[in-house]
Amino acid sequence: MSSPFVRTPHPAPTPEARRAEILTAPGFGRYFTDHMVTIRWSAAQGWHDAEVKPYGPMTFDPASMVLHYGQEIFEGLKAYRQPDGSIASFRPEANATRFRGSAARLAMAELPEELFLGSISELLAVDHEWVPAAGGEDSLYLRPFMLATEVGLGVRPSAEYLYALIASPAGPYFSGDLKPVDVWLSTEYTRSALGGTGIAKCGGNYAASLLPQAQGAEHGCAQVAYLDAEERTWIDEMGSNNLFFVFGSGDDAEVVTPSLTGSILAGVTRDSLLVLAKELGCQVTERRVSGQEWLEGAADGRISEVFGCGTAAVITPIGGVKHAGGEVTIGGGETGPITAKLRALLTDIQRGTGADTHSWMRTLHPA
Ligand SMILES: Cc1ncc(COP(=O)(O)O)c(C=O)c1O
């Protein structure tokens, strides 16, 4: 079958010297590649008008439904330059599946997995030079998203959607050593309730996290950890990371993460770390962890390490947890050995320097 994507090359792509300059210190989400992908959906035509075209502004009717009722979803994944020069992504089909799940929860059209994956290959075909060199921590961050474009103010599912894919070179999350961050345990705000949208990656979840995030920042915290909405007892996750707790140490270490109860986003990194932690020889448990267990366990040393995980930083060590009633240091405020080992194992697989024994990597552009 011929590609359904129509390619319109950028008439004046970023000069090579400028791109090289950007790639020396790309930061995160500051620069974008020369092209983007768009695909439209309508009830009458299904998925159509798949295009690769110059990156640029989009125009919307002021009554487009997304602008009023927030029918919008997104994904986040990365393209990594491999040692042989090819470009691969980590379990992108898991993101494709989650994108469909998010669409279903928001009553939106579901993009078939092959179009999701095809859109990434298409973008890399024209913008592959934007993928940073192998050997470092840099990558090309891919941001697929979809929004409701039907014009009208009725509160109902849109009959038209726009899927788009943009890409942004991303530098290392940690410059230098893995530095533990402090986390704010919010007892005032929640992220998601059972039956809500926490299992979906929709923009509204992140809009609602900005106020608690600012509150956490006032206390010097990099992220916010949330309790469940029903009992305000059980740890759910953070604003953009799942959470892991290490009980004990050495041969007796048990790696625990909150079970997917219906309000937590099922992270691809979380799922992969459950596998790798078992291979490291740790006992691995998915169960409920209460906020109290976290605070007491960190204080009396039963909990030796805590970390957040997600595509952006892979693993973020957590050195302390603060809350309205005080603060507790975890593992002496240092990055623990299991945190560091798991991070190295996963990043080695992603960079193509570690054995991909689970066939997690997908080549999306040849060498
Ligand atoms: C709320 C939330 N939880 C967890 C994650 C981690 O998910 P993943 O490992 O798939 O990036 C993310 C980031 O995507 C997130 O936004």
CATH number at residue 156: 3.30.470.10
Specify whether 142 is located in the same domain as 213: no
pLDDT at site 3: 74
Specify whether 238 is located in the same domain as 142: no
Question: If you average pLDDT over residues 1-26, what whole number do you get?
Answer: 92
Q: For 270-293, how does the pLDDT look when each residue is reduced to its tens digit (9 = 90+)?
A: 999 999 999 999 999 999 999 999
Specify whether 21 is located in the same domain as 108: yes
Q: Whose CA is nearest to atom 13 of ligand 1?
A: 240
Number of structural domains (the chain) is 2
367 assigned to some structural domain: no
pLDDT at 251 over 90: no
Range of the domain at 131: 6-170
pLDDT at 85 over 90: yes
245 assigned to some structural domain: yes
- Out of 151, 170, 189, a domain closes at 170
Q: For 121-172, how does the pLDDT look when each residue is reduced to its tens digit (9 = 90+)?
A: 999 999 999 999 999 899 999 999 999 999 999 999 999 999 999 999 999 8
Specify whether 166 is located in the same domain as 253: no
Q: Is the CB of 76 under 6 A from ligand 1?
A: yes
In CATH, what number is assigned to the domain containing residue 225? 3.20.10.10
> If DSSP states are collapsed to H, E and C, what string results for the chain?
CCCCCEECCCCCCCCHHHHHHHHHCCCCCCCCCCEEEEEEEECCCEEEEEEEEECCCCCCCCCECHHHHCCEEECCEEEEECCCCCEEEECHHHHHHHHHHHHHHCCCCCCCHHHHHHHHHHHHHHHHHHCCCCCCCCEEEEEEEEEECCECCCCCCCCEEEEEEEEEEECCCCCCCCCCEEEEEECCCCCCCCCCCCCCCEHHHHHHCHHHHHHHHHCCCCEEEEECCCCCCEEEEECCCEEEEEECCHHHCEEEECCCCCCCCCCHHHHHHHHHHHHCCCEEEECCCEHHHHHHHHHHCCEEEEEEEECCCEEEEEEEEEECCEEEECHHHCCCHHHHHHHHHHHHHHHCCCCCCCCCEEEEECC
Q: Is the CB of 237 under 6 A from ligand 1?
A: yes
- Cα(88) to ligand 1 centroid in Å equals 20
Q: For 253-268, how does the pLDDT look when each residue is reduced to its tens digit (9 = 90+)?
A: 999 999 999 999 999 9
pTM above 0.85, yes or no: yes
Q: Is the CB of 213 under 6 A from ligand 1?
A: no
Specify whether 194 is located in the same domain as 156: no
